[in-house]
């Protein structure tokens, strides 16, 4: 695989691009994380989501400790070339470190955030 596709991405000043993981079957947004060039190249090569952890300063393969791997079905680049969407199959049905299907489990209603999605598995049992 040639990696010229990496040259077409508009990386930010830190060399990162936002990556949105979306369920390939349902279209639900599961999470957002960051990718550097290596993470995007590895994701394409391995056909699984690999991200860059800004807090740890290192690559992380989604599911390496939880088992909740994201199998990659498709990678899309937006019109400005500065956001990536990963169409994934979320193994285990849990993408969020809180034990929920999606990291986007709160809805704004009447000026308050309301939790609308259940915890599917206690995080203590995942990590």
Sketch out the chain's domains with CATH numbers: 4-120 (3.10.20.810)
Summarised one tens digit per residue, pLDDT across range 32-86 is 999 999 999 999 999 999 999 999 999 999 998 899 999 999 999 999 999 999 9
The residue ranking higher by pLDDT, 126 or 59, is 59
Distances (CA, A) of 123 to 46, 86, 97: 26, 24, 6
Q: Has residue 1 got a pLDDT over 80?
A: no
Global pTM reads 0.91
Contact 80, 88 (CB under 8 A): no
Q: How confident is the model at residue 2 (pLDDT cuts 50, 70, 90)?
A: low
The residue ranking higher by pLDDT, 40 or 1, is 40
Closest CA to 47 of 99, 86, 101: 86
Cα 44 to Cα 37: distance, rounded to the nearest angstrom: 11
Region at 81 (left for phi over 0; alpha for psi -120 to 50; beta for the rest): left
Contact 117, 102 (CB under 8 A): yes
Beta bridge partners of 35: 17
Summarised one tens digit per residue, pLDDT across range 82-101 is 999 999 999 999 999 999 99
Distances (CA, A) of 121 to 23, 58, 69, 95, 96: 19, 26, 15, 11, 10
């Amino acid at each position: 695989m040639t990696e010229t596709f990496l040259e077409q991405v508009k990386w930010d000043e830190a060399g990162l691009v936002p990556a949105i993981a979306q369920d390939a079957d349902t279209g639900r947004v599961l999470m957002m994380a960051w990718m550097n060039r290596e993470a995007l190249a590895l994701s394409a090569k391995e056909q699984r989501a690999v991200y860059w952890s800004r807090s740890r300063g290192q690559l992380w393969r989604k599911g390496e400790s939880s088992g909740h791997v994201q199998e990659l079905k498709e990678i899309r680049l937006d019109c400005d070339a500065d956001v990536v969407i990963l169409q994934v199959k979320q193994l285990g049905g849990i993408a969020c470190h809180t034990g929920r299907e999606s990291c986007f489990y709160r809805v704004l209603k009447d000026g308050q955030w309301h939790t609308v999605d259940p915890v599917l598995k206690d995080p203590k049992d995942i990590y």
